[in-house]
Amino acid sequence: MNFYHILKSAHSGWRYLVLILLVLAIITAIAGWLGKKPYTEGNRKLNVFTLIFVHTQILFGLVLYFVSPLVEAGIRYWKMEHIGMMIFAAILVTVGNARSKRGDDPSVKHRTIALYFGLALIVIVASIIQMTMVDPSRSFFGVS
Ligand code: HEM
């Protein structure tokens, strides 16, 4: 087990925390938006935690980018698509969280989170599915 393997496992496993938090935040936001519920401190914290976990995953990925033999080998998916799509998803989460702070209307706050986080989830899932097509030895729910 060297640094690369530890980092790869951390990045591989961390995806589940990111996916679970995103799904939870989106369901909570949709329930709050459609159910016209107040925007609580709990809602705010869940969204910030999701943001922090997404950013941590990006950090793992960025370091991995410089030590992974796959990037070194110049495989297009790892050099371009993975990093591009995942950073785009992180930007969506960051902007969504920032915009949810604007104004006082709880419905608008919930809707903002539901839309931005929802789009980010779609981008992440699409990128992981693409990964399993580029490299069939990897699976959506695998850990390496
Ligand atoms: C929300 C953001 C991200 C998610 C959910 C994510 C998810 C994943 C997943 C599921 C794998 C495959 C792990 C396995 O097969 O067990 C992976 C591998 C990888 N990721 Fe990410 N990733 C994210 C962001 C990034 C970013 C921003 C970078 C680069 C700057 C990056 C670089 C890599 C690299 C280089 C690998 C291949 C590691 C190897 O097998 O050598 N990731 N990522």
Please give the tally of structural domains in the chain. Answer: 1
- Contact (CB, 8 A) for 96 and 112: yes
Residue 90 included in any domain: yes
Residue 110 belongs to a domain: yes
Nearest to 96 by CA among 79, 69, 115, 76: 115
Residue 9 included in any domain = yes
In a domain, 143, yes or no: no
Mean pLDDT by 10 residues, the chain (144 residues): 93 97 98 97 98 98 94 88 97 98 95 98 97 91 80
Q: How far is the CA of 119 from the centre of ligand 1 (A)?
A: 19
Asked if residue 141 is part of any domain, the answer here is no
Nearest to 107 by CA among 53, 51, 35: 35
pLDDT score, position 34: 97
Within a domain: residue 41?
yes
Please tell me the predicted confidence (pLDDT) of residue 17: 98
Q: What's the gap in Å between 16 CA and the centre of ligand 1?
A: 12
Quick check: 29 and 110 in contact, CB under 8 A? yes
Q: Crossing angle for the helix pair 106-134 and 82-99, nearest 10 degrees?
A: 170
Position 74 scores a pLDDT of 84
Show the CA angle centred on residue 17, arms to residues 91 and 134, nearest 5°. Answer: 70
Question: Is 139 among the domain residues?
Answer: no
Q: How many residues are listed for the chain in this entry?
A: 144
Domain containing residue 108: 3-134
Asked if residue 121 has its Cβ within 6 Å of ligand 1, the reply is no
Is the C-beta atom of 84 inside 6 A of ligand 1? no
* Cβ 21 under 6 angstroms from ligand 1: no
